[in-house]
Amino acid sequence: MTISARTLFPLLFASLLLFGCSSKDPEEPARETSPRLTPADVDGELLATGGDGSSWVAANFNYQEQRFSPLDQIDRSNVSRLGVAWTAELPDARAQEATPIVVGRRMFVTGPWSKIFAFNAVTGEALWSFDPEVERSVLRNTCCDAVNRGVAVWRGRLYLGTLDGRLISIDANTGAQLWSTQTTDRSQPYTITGTPRVVDNKVIIGNGGAEFGVRGYVSAYDANDGRLLWRFYTVPNPEGEADNAASDQVLRRAAARTWSEEGQWRESGGGGTVWDAIVYDHELDQLYIGVGNGSPWNHGARSQGRGDNLFLSSIVALDPDTGEYLWHYQETPGESWDFTATQHIILADLRMPVRDEEGGIVEGEDGEPRTESRKVLMQAPKNGFFFVIDRTNGELISADPFIEGINWAEGYNLETGRPIENPAARFYRTGEPFISNPGPIGAHNWQPMAYNRETGLVYIPANIAPQIHVPAPGEGPIALGDIGFNTGGDWSDINLPRDEEAIRAAISMVTGQLVAFDPVAGEVRWTADYPTPWNGGIMTTAGGLVFQGTAMGQFKAYDAASGEELWSMDTQSGVLAGASTYQIDGVQYVAFTTGRGGAFAITAGRADRAREIPNIPRLVVLRLGGDGRLPPAPAGDERRLDPPESTGSEAQIAQGQRLFNRYCLVCHGEGAVGGGVNPDLRFSGILGDSEGWRDIVIGGALRSNGMPSFSSAFDGSGANAIRHYVIDKANWDLERIRARREEEGEG
Ligand code: CA
């Protein structure tokens, strides 16, 4: 469908009456707007373009997923006049990862526990909300918080994937559930955090869970009734049987021989979950899925160190009608570092240099490089290289680093399409620990990037966060099927030493960047540096702007061409999700959420400089001349560490530390320092109460909050050892805090 220009004077006039500030603020004349667009109008034709930008109808704007808005009322010259139009408080202080979707005058945003909230996009009036009532015990199956990255809109309905694996269809006008179908086996640790995509009345959805042991797949359901239409498994059936699925043939023909006969994948399912990028190419009628890491991570344990393990860490093109395989490109063969290829994929047509057979650039008669238009897809996955791939056939065009200091590979051989690896990276072969850059949170994670057609640059929310991989001898990996994070590596000893200088040195290596990357030249054009990783997703506009929120609690606008910071606001809380923009009655708005959490905030503990930033779940909407205010900032966290005296024996504390690192670290933070999402155990009121502690850790007393019983992993004396470790660690931290205060007091 197309959006026609309409005469909107009555509505514009009404909005002026409601918002006196508009009259004080001479805006540009209204451009084409479509406030009468309704969710019923969202179909394949609208999704192909995203319309004129007055609405933001899909998580990443349109089928190309460029996150580029054609709106330009807010531009370089006036962005400093952005102010608050309205705000809405959201209920759950966990990671907010969804971009607000706007259709006409309605806004839909999802939050933790897979809840949906609908608002009037102009006034902020709450219209309805939907809570699928996800059982909180599912939290134990999440690697990365109880998050959700958004709904799909299609012909009057919303489609939601829930943390416990349901796909739900909802009436966009009323919030009423129309149908619900379970897409996963509830007896296995599958979760859904990603956004469904709708293609020709088929709802496509994947899942997550590779850290706990599952086999990845993507499915298509009938948008009308939730009937399963096809399923594509990303890795072979560990039982060696056919699945009677669309993937059967290609798994038998091409993938099976890339896996070992023996190996833990037979029990753990192999991984390869499709938890984020699913992109529809309406020009070529192809679907691209980004496939995740192996289960377990360690290639030596998973597949005896043998084989590429297709289709792990690959982009796979499928026929959207049938789910049949079309082509694939594997970014990280024999994946062993949690290097997913699930990250955001952007489609574009780029003028790329013509290359000869040796890969040299071909010059024209004028001496300038010859160029040709190519249909490409672009991805900046965890492994640190920016991939440009010919989407007609999966051919690798270029793979260039988008962060500095990548050490697992020095680059890619463009002829074979394979990485040129550093042998030390295969820690299971060398038997030596390997400090990998990027680490498992990736040089880029789920936070969406954006492509600005006018500057030709891709803007990537990048992380510089190395992490050590320790081969499995020693305490060894967590047994398969047991409770806990199963990576096939030894996590028992990986925490930083109790040495102030070593801690500071390690933390100083962990930072974040906004990277403006030229996909044609394969080069970084400019960067903005942040003190911590895990900053927000990106949105870019025809106003020449790049918008990004930060972990440290700002929302910023940059000049898309030069990288100059043009404007910044204090958001009181960290920002993770990408913003959206829309225009109603002649006024352009920018919308985003605040709220901390997700993988890095939960696990990184003391390396996370943002952990003291308040966690405020809130929707914030801005406009030029907006004169609203954020609610008053909460008082600072007044909690003081006050642990009981440390009475555990040295052996007990050491055992507790090993158990903590294996079983507790992933949720409660490295070094027992909480990230402001799950409880910081050093502050626990029952540290001195060994029975109360045991009731929770062994007895499962807080099961309904998502804290499971660990009785299958260790007994009461193990739980007590963990308690003694946390007490000891809290006392050690308290000493450091006191010493620092004295230093500051004297200085
Ligand atoms: Ca993973």
Q: How far is the CA of 574 from the centre of ligand 1 (A)?
A: 23
Domain boundary among 532, 566, 589: 532
Q: Which residue has the higher pLDDT, 127 or 671?
A: 127
Supply the pLDDT for residue 310: 98
Confidence of residue 43 (pLDDT cuts 50, 70, 90): very high
The pLDDT tens digits of the residues spanning 588-624 come to 999 999 999 999 988 887 788 888 889 999 999 999 9
Identify the sign of the CA torsion 294, 295, 301, 303: negative
- Least confident span in 30-39, 155-164, 642-651: 30-39
Supply the pLDDT for residue 483: 79
Supply the pLDDT for residue 255: 98
Residue 275 has pLDDT above 50, yes or no: yes
Supply the pLDDT for residue 583: 96
* Mean pLDDT of the region 219-248: 97
Supply the pLDDT for residue 356: 83
Q: How far is the CA of 131 from the centre of ligand 1 (A)?
A: 27
* Mean pLDDT of the region 690-705: 95
Supply the pLDDT for residue 35: 64
* Mean pLDDT of the region 465-473: 86
Q: How far is the CA of 312 from the centre of ligand 1 (A)?
A: 11
Residue 140 has pLDDT above 90, yes or no: no
Considering the domain architecture, whether residues 136 and 64 belong to the same structural domain is answered as: yes
* Mean pLDDT of the region 115-128: 98
Residue 484 CB neighbour total at 10 angstroms: 22
Supply the pLDDT for residue 34: 64
Measured between alpha carbons, how far is residue 679 from residues 97, 165, 285, 441, 495 in Å?
Answer: 20, 25, 47, 21, 19
- The chain-wide mean pLDDT, for the chain, equals 91
The pLDDT tens digits of the residues spanning 58-109 come to 999 999 999 999 999 999 999 999 999 999 999 999 999 999 999 999 999 9
Considering the domain architecture, whether residues 603 and 581 belong to the same structural domain is answered as: yes
The pLDDT tens digits of the residues spanning 512-525 come to 999 999 999 999 99
Q: How far is the CA of 259 from the centre of ligand 1 (A)?
A: 19
Considering the domain architecture, whether residues 549 and 679 belong to the same structural domain is answered as: no
Residue 25 has pLDDT above 60, yes or no: no
Q: How far is the CA of 401 from the centre of ligand 1 (A)?
A: 21
Any domain includes 185: no
Considering the domain architecture, whether residues 527 and 573 belong to the same structural domain is answered as: no
Q: How far is the CA of 17 from the centre of ligand 1 (A)?
A: 51
Provide the whole-model pTM: 0.93
Of 263, 250, 388, 394, nearest in space to 311 by CA: 250
Of 559, 583, 449, 577, nearest in space to 515 by CA: 449
Considering the domain architecture, whether residues 79 and 141 belong to the same structural domain is answered as: yes
Of 184, 168, 157, nearest in space to 131 by CA: 168
Residue 644 has pLDDT above 60, yes or no: yes
Supply the pLDDT for residue 19: 34
Considering the domain architecture, whether residues 388 and 520 belong to the same structural domain is answered as: yes
Supply the pLDDT for residue 7: 30
What is the 8-class DSSP label of residue 251? I
Instruction: State the residue range of the domain holding 86.
Output: 1-149+534-629
Any domain includes 67: yes
Q: How far is the CA of 274 from the centre of ligand 1 (A)?
A: 10
Residue 481 has pLDDT above 80, yes or no: no
Any domain includes 5: yes
Supply the pLDDT for residue 308: 98
Amino acid at the residue 487: T
Q: Which residue has the higher pLDDT, 493 or 683?
A: 683
Confidence of residue 498 (pLDDT cuts 50, 70, 90): low
Of 722, 624, 621, 603, nearest in space to 669 by CA: 603
Confidence of residue 746 (pLDDT cuts 50, 70, 90): low
Contacts of 632 (CB under 8 A, 6+ apart): none
Q: How far is the CA of 495 from the centre of ligand 1 (A)?
A: 19
Burial (CB < 10 A; 0-12, 13-18, 19+), residue 630, is middle
Any domain includes 548: yes
Q: Could you give the strand order of the β-sheet that contains 545-549, starting from the edge strand earlier in sequence?
A: 68-69, 538-541, 545-549, 554-559, 565-570
Residue 493 appears among annotated catalytic residues: no
Peptide bond preceding 296: is omega within 30 degrees of 0, i.e. cis?
yes
Q: How far is the CA of 293 from the centre of ligand 1 (A)?
A: 6
Considering the domain architecture, whether residues 76 and 141 belong to the same structural domain is answered as: yes
Confidence of residue 475 (pLDDT cuts 50, 70, 90): confident
Q: How far is the CA of 461 from the centre of ligand 1 (A)?
A: 18
Cα of 98 vs its chain's centroid, Å: 10
Considering the domain architecture, whether residues 558 and 453 belong to the same structural domain is answered as: no
Domain boundary among 569, 594, 629: 629
Q: Which CATH number belongs to the domain containing residue 673 in this structure? A: 1.10.760.10
Any domain includes 36: yes
Q: How far is the CA of 324 from the centre of ligand 1 (A)?
A: 25
Measured between alpha carbons, how far is residue 407 from residues 123, 158, 510, 511 in Å?
Answer: 50, 43, 15, 17
Burial (CB < 10 A; 0-12, 13-18, 19+), residue 367, is exposed
Torsion angles phi and psi, residue 59, rounded to 5 = -50, -45
Supply the pLDDT for residue 360: 83
Supply the pLDDT for residue 638: 66
Number of domains, the chain: 3
Q: How far is the CA of 205 from the centre of ligand 1 (A)?
A: 17
Q: How far is the CA of 602 from the centre of ligand 1 (A)?
A: 14
Of 475, 533, 472, nearest in space to 507 by CA: 533
Active-site residue identified among 338, 585, 728, 733: 338
Residue 235 has pLDDT above 70, yes or no: yes
Residue 633 CB neighbour total at 10 angstroms: 13
Q: How far is the CA of 215 from the centre of ligand 1 (A)?
A: 13
Of 553, 529, 550, nearest in space to 538 by CA: 550
Any domain includes 329: no
Any domain includes 199: no
Q: Which CATH number belongs to the domain containing residue 552 in this structure? A: 2.140.10.10
Supply the pLDDT for residue 33: 46
Residue 633 has pLDDT above 80, yes or no: yes
Q: How far is the CA of 395 from the centre of ligand 1 (A)?
A: 25
Peptide bond preceding 438: is omega within 30 degrees of 0, i.e. cis?
yes
Confidence of residue 489 (pLDDT cuts 50, 70, 90): confident
Any domain includes 166: no
Considering the domain architecture, whether residues 594 and 459 belong to the same structural domain is answered as: no
User: Do the Cβ atoms of 611 and 675 come closer than 8 Å?
Assistant: yes
Considering the domain architecture, whether residues 393 and 523 belong to the same structural domain is answered as: yes
* Mean pLDDT of the region 670-692: 92
Considering the domain architecture, whether residues 598 and 668 belong to the same structural domain is answered as: no
Q: How far is the CA of 288 from the centre of ligand 1 (A)?
A: 19
Interatomic CA distance for residues 438 and 464, integer angstroms: 7
Interatomic CA distance for residues 326 and 316, integer angstroms: 8
Considering the domain architecture, whether residues 514 and 566 belong to the same structural domain is answered as: no
Q: How far is the CA of 212 from the centre of ligand 1 (A)?
A: 9
> In this structure, which long-range contacts are made by residues 426-430, counting pairs with CB atoms below 8 Å and at least 24 apart in sequence?
426/299, 426/300, 426/305, 426/336, 427/298, 427/336, 427/469, 427/470, 427/471, 427/489, 428/298, 428/299, 428/300, 428/301, 428/305, 428/336, 428/471, 428/472, 429/300, 429/305, 430/471
